[in-house]
């Protein structure tokens, strides 16, 4: 009986994990207009050979 209970528990856990993963995938494949995002770019100048751009996204 214990093996059967473990089997059912593992099956339920796998179903939950797959459900969450598929939901996250479905949300990620939407167009960028789906997201409420705020994008901030900052530039850091370290000399004539080094200028870095950093982009921060606050996604809700």
Q: Which string of DSSP letters, residue by residue, matches 10-54?
A: HHHHHHHHHHHHHHHHHHHTS-GGGS-EEEEEEEEE-STT-EEEE
Residue bearing the bigger pLDDT, 24 or 46: 46
Alpha-carbon Rg for the chain, nearest whole angstrom, is 22
Q: Which residue has the tokens 């960028």?
A: 32
Confidence of residue 55 (pLDDT cuts 50, 70, 90): confident
Q: Give the tens place of pLDDT for each residue, 8-18.
A: 888 888 888 87
Q: In this predicted model, what pLDDT tens digit does every residue of 31-46 receive, in sequence order?
A: 555 666 677 888 888 7
For the residues 17-39, what does the mean pLDDT come to? 66
Q: What is the rounded average pLDDT for all residues in the chain?
A: 75
């Amino acid at each position: 009986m214990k093996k059967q209970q473990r089997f059912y528990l593992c099956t339920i856990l796998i179903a939950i994990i797959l459900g969450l993963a598929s939901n996250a995938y479905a949300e990620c494949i939407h167009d960028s207009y789906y997201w409420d995002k705020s994008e901030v770019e900052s530039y850091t100048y370290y000399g004539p050979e080094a200028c870095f751009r950093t982009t921060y996204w606050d996604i809700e």
